[in-house]
Amino acid sequence: MTAFAYLAGLIVVIGCIALIDARWRLVFWRAPLAAAVTVVVGVAFFLVWDAAGIVTGVFFRGTSGIVTGIELAPELPLEEPVFLAFLCYLTLVLVLGGERILAVRGRRAAAAEREDLR
């Protein structure tokens, strides 16, 4: 069962990010098509990056008891695209969440400034 620990962990954290996304409607709950396209393009980009690294011998699959051992291609474990999807999704949530926080702070500062002018 430990062979699926990393994959299960990735799925759990993706679920946690999805809960944050749903609560504040940041990515998929705001613009699902744009979010899906962005994540797919990001994963595709990083898979090409990984393939280049594998071909040049820079990247290789290590051994661990917590991974499935299933390879989608030589030196490309099943967990890699799941991790890349998590990475892209997390980045979108962080960027859009950060924008939201800065926008709220800006509105509050503007409101406080208007109050001071009264």
pLDDT confidence bin for 1, thresholds 50/70/90 = low
Range of the structural domain that residue 13 is part of = 2-117
Structural domains of the chain, count: 1
Number of C-alpha atoms within 13 angstroms, CB side, residue 45?
9
Higher pLDDT, 51 or 64: 51
How many residues does the structure list for the chain? 118
Separation CA 52–CA 74 (nearest Å): 12
Separation CA 36–CA 112 (nearest Å): 38
pTM: predicted TM-score of the whole model, two decimal places: 0.91
Query: Which tens digit of pLDDT belongs to each residue from 41-61?
Result: 999 999 999 999 999 999 888
CA distances from 10 to 37, 79, 104, 113 (A): 20, 8, 31, 44
